[in-house]
Chain A
Amino acid sequence: MGLSKELQERWERMLRSPDRGEKLRALTEIGQAHDLVGSEESPLEKVRLGGAMSTRSETETLPTTLKDLILEELRSSKDPIVRAEAVLALVHWRDEETVNAILQMLNDQDSTVRLAAVQALATMGDAQFIPSLLEVAESDPEELVRAHALSALEQIPKQAVKGWQKGGTSDLVRGGAERTSGAIRARGGTGIPDLATALEQIASTDTSRYVAFLAQKARKRFV
Chain B
Amino acid sequence: MSTPSKQQLCGLKGYLDPSGCARSLERIVEHYNRVGRQVLNNARNTWSISWPRDLPIDVAELFQGWYLPDFKSLEIDNMPLTNVCLTSLVAQWHLKLFTVLDRFCQEETRRRVLSGFNVVNDLLFYLTNDTEFQRFWNALGNPAPGRCPPDRNPQNVNDALACLIDTINDPSKQGKFYPDPATLNTILNAAQQAGLSQDRFLGGAAGNMAYVLSQMGVEVHIHCPYHSGQLRWNELDPSARYLEFNHNRYQSIPADPGDPNLPCKITVGFQSAPGWSFSQLNIQATQPGRALFIGRHPTLNPQHRQWNDVEVNWQGQNYPWNGPWQNDREVWPHPTVLGSWRVNGQTLEIIPADDALVTQLAQGERYDVALLKDVGALLRCNELEQARKTQLDELRRSQIPIHVEISPRFNFAFLRHLISNSPFGNASYWSAGLNPDELLDITDQGMQPSNYNNFQVDPYLFPKSTVRESLLQRFVRGLHLLKLLKLDWIYVHGNELDIAIWRKEACDQIEQLGTNTGGKLRDAMLLAKAAVVAAMIVREPSPRLQQLINSRLAQGSALAVKGFWALLSFAQQFSEWTANRYGSSKQNVYQDLLDNGFYELGNDFGVAVAPVFWPDEVQFLNATGAGDYSSAVVAAYVWGS
Report which A residues bind B (CB closer than 8 A).
21, 24-25, 27-29, 31-34, 81, 84-85, 87-89, 112, 115-116, 118-119, 122-123, 143-144, 147-148, 151-152, 154-155, 209-210, 213-214, 217
A188 to chain B, nearest CB (A): 29
Q: Tell me the bound Cα distance from A81 to B80 in angstroms.
A: 11
Of B23-31, B115-123, B171-179, B274-282, the one with at least 4 CB within 8 A of chain A: B23-31
B19, B20, B80, B94: the one contacting A28 at CB < 8 Å is B80
On whether the beta carbons of B98 and A31 are closer than 8 Å, the reply is no
User: Which residues of the other chain, B, contact A31 by a CB distance below 8 angstroms?
Assistant: 26, 83
Q: What distance in Å separates the Cβ of B261 from its nearest Cβ neighbour in chain A? A: 51
Tell me if A210 and B99 are in contact (CB < 8 A). yes
Chain A residues near B88 (CB-CB < 8 A): 112, 115, 144
Q: Kindly supply a per-residue 1/0 record for chain B positions 4-15, scoring 1 wherever the CB is within 8 Å of any chain A CB and 0 otherwise.
A: 000000000110
- Contact yes or no, B91 A84, CB < 8 A: no
Which of chain A's residues have a CB closer than 8 A to the CB of B13? 213
Q: Is the CB of A118 within 8 A of B82?
A: no
Q: Which B residues are CB-close (under 8 A) to A209?
A: 98, 102
Expressed in whole angstroms, the Cα–Cα distance for A115 and B94 within the complex equals: 14
Q: Which 8 A-B pairs have CB atoms at the shortest separation, nearest pair first?
A: A32-B30, A122-B19, A84-B84, A151-B19, A88-B83, A31-B83, A119-B87, A152-B19
A81 and B92 contact, Cβ closer than 8 Å, known pairs A119-B19, A147-B18, A148-B19: no
The residues of A that contact B14 with a CB separation of less than 8 Å are 217
Q: A24-B80, A115-B91, A122-B20 are in contact. List 5 more A-B contacts (CB 8 A).
A: A21-B80, A28-B80, A89-B83, A151-B16, A151-B19
Q: Contact between A28 and B82 (Cβ–Cβ < 8 Å)? A: yes
The reply to whether B84 and A143 form a contact with Cβ atoms under 8 Å apart is no
- Other-chain contact of B84, A81, A123, A155 (Cβ < 8 Å): A81
Which residues of A lie under 8 Å from residue B556 when comparing CB positions?
155
Q: Which residues of B contact A210 (CB under 8 A)?
A: 95, 98-99, 102
One of B27, B78, B95, B102 near A147 (C-beta < 8 A): B95
Give chain B nearest CB distance to A118 CB in angstroms: 7
Most chain A CB within 10 A, of B20, B82, B102, is at B82
A213 to B80, Cβ gap below 8 A? Answer: no
Please tell me if the beta carbons of B78 and A21 are within 8 angstroms of each other in the complex.
Answer: yes
Residue B499, interface by CB 8 Å: no
| Residue of chain A at shortest CB distance from B27 | A34
Closest to A34 in B: B27
Return chain B residues, CB-CB under 8 Å to A143.
Answer: 95
In the bound complex, how far is the Cα of B82 from the Cα of A152, in angstroms?
A: 20
Chain B residues proximal to chain A, CB less than 8 Å: 13-14, 16-20, 22-23, 26-27, 29-30, 78, 80-84, 87-88, 91-92, 94-95, 98-99, 102, 556
Chain A residue at minimal CB-CB distance from B29: A32
The residue of chain A having its C-beta at the shortest distance from the C-beta of B103 within the complex is: A209
Closest Cβ of chain B: how far from A7's Cβ, in Å? Answer: 11
B590: shortest Cβ distance to chain A, in Å?
15
Taken together as a complex, chains A and B put the C-alpha atoms of A116 and B102 apart, in Å, by 26
A31-B26, A147-B91, A148-B91 known; A155 vs B19 contact (CB < 8 Å): yes
Q: Is the interface of A mostly helix, strand, loop or mixed?
A: helix
- Whole-angstrom distance between the Cβ of A6 and the nearest chain B Cβ: 15
Query: Nearest chain B CB to A203's CB is how many angstroms away?
Result: 13
The CA of A147 and the CA of B91, in the complex, are separated in Å by: 8
Cβ A32 vs Cβ B83 within 8 A: yes
- Distance in Å from the Cβ of A110 to the closest Cβ of chain B? 10
Least Cβ–Cβ distance between B286 and chain A, in angstroms:
30
Residue of A nearest to B102 (CB): A209
Q: With A147-B91, A154-B17, A210-B99 as known contacts, state yes or no: A123 contacts B23, CB within 8 Å.
A: yes
Q: How far is the CA of A147 from the CA of B22 in the complex (A)?
A: 13
**Most-contacted residue by chain B among A32, A33, A88, A123 (CB, 10 A):** A32
**CB distance A151 to B87 under 8 Å?**
no
Q: In the assembly, what is the distance between CA of A214 and CA of B17, in Å?
A: 9
Q: How far is the CB of A129 from chain B (nearest CB, A)?
A: 12
Roughly how many angstroms separate A32 CA and B80 CA in the complex, as a whole number? Answer: 14
* Nearest chain B CB to A202 CB, angstrom units: 16
Q: List 9 contacting pairs A-B, 8 Å CB cutoff, sorted by A.
A: A21-B78, A25-B80, A34-B30, A87-B84, A89-B83, A118-B19, A119-B23, A119-B87, A122-B19
Tell me whether A85 and B84 are in contact (CB under 8 A).
Answer: yes
Q: Is the CB of B92 within 8 A of A144?
A: yes
Min distance, Cβ B86 to any Cβ of chain A, angstroms = 9
**A119→B82 CA distance, assembly (Å):** 13
Q: Contact between B84 and A115 (Cβ–Cβ < 8 Å)? A: yes
Do residues A155 and B29 form an inter-chain contact, with CB atoms below 8 A?
no
Output the residue of B27, B30, B80 with the most chain A CB within 10 A.
Answer: B80
Bound-state Cα–Cα, A27 to B82, Å: 8
Asked if residues B102 and A213 are in contact (CB atoms below 8 Å), the reply is yes
Measured CB to CB, the closest approach of chain B to A161, in angstroms, equals 16
User: In this complex, what residue of B is CB-closest to A83?
Assistant: B84
User: In whole Å, how far is A189's beta carbon from the nearest beta carbon of chain B?
Assistant: 25
Note all chain A residues with C-beta closer than 8 A to B22: 119, 122
Residue numbers in B under 8 Å from A85 (CB-CB): 82-84
Q: Assess the B26–A112 pair: CB atoms within 8 A.
A: no
Task: Kindly list chain A residues whose C-beta atoms are within 8 Å of the C-beta of B92.
Answer: 144
Chain B residues with Cβ below 8 Å from A87 are 84
Q: How far is the CA of A30 from the CA of B88 in the complex (A)?
A: 18
Closest to A123 in B: B23
In the bound complex, residues from chain B placing their C-beta under 8 Å from that of A147 are: 18, 91, 94-95
